Chains A and B, each alone.
Chain A
Amino acid sequence: MIRIACPFCGLRDETEFAYRGDATVSRPPADAPIEDFHDYVYRRANPRGWHVEWWHHAGGCRQFLKVVRHTMTHAVHSVGLASSTQVVPPE
Chain B
Amino acid sequence: MSVVDPVSPLGNTLVPGRHGAAGDGAVRIAERRCDLVQVFARKGRAGDVAAAMLARFGSDLPGPGHTFDAPAFSALWVQPDGWLLVAPRSPEGALAKSIKAACGDTASVVEQTHGRSVIALSGGRAAWVLGKLSSLDLHGREFGPGRAAVSPVAGLSCVVHHRDAAPSYDLIVFATFARWFVTSLTHAAEETGYIVE
Contacts and interface: CB of A to CB of B under 8 A. Distances in A.
Interface string A35-64: 000000000000000000000000111110
A16 B152 contact: yes
B64 interface: yes
B91 to A, nearest CB: 31
A61 B150 contact: yes
Contacts of B78: 61
B149 interface: yes
Q: Classify chain B: how many residues form its interface, as a range.
A: 10 to 19
Given A9-B65, A10-B65, A13-B135, A59 B79 contact: no
A26 B100 CA distance: 39
A12 B151 contact: yes
B44 interface: no
B64 A59 contact: no
A62 B79 CA distance: 7
Contacts of B8: none
Contacts of A16: 135, 151-152
A63 B150 CA distance: 12
B144 to A, nearest CB: 14
Contacts of B135: 12-13, 15-16
B183 interface: no
Contact of B80 (A15, A59, A63): A63
A52 to B, nearest CB: 21
Interface in B132-187: 135, 137, 142, 149-152, 157
A8 B79 contact: yes
B151 A60 contact: yes
A12 B150 CA distance: 11
A63 B78 CA distance: 11
Contacts of A11: 137
Interface string B44-72: 00000000000000000000110000000
B64 A8 contact: yes
Interface of B: 64-65, 78-80, 135, 137, 142, 149-152, 157
Given A9-B150, A12-B135, A61-B80, 20 more contacts: A8-B65, A8-B79, A9-B64, A9-B149, A9-B151, A10-B65, A10-B142, A12-B151, A13-B135, A16-B151, A16-B152, A59-B150, A59-B151, A59-B152, A60-B151, A61-B78, A61-B79, A61-B150, A62-B79, A63-B80
13 contacts: A8-B64, A8-B79, A9-B64, A9-B151, A12-B135, A15-B135, A15-B152, A16-B135, A16-B151, A59-B157, A61-B79, A61-B80, A62-B79
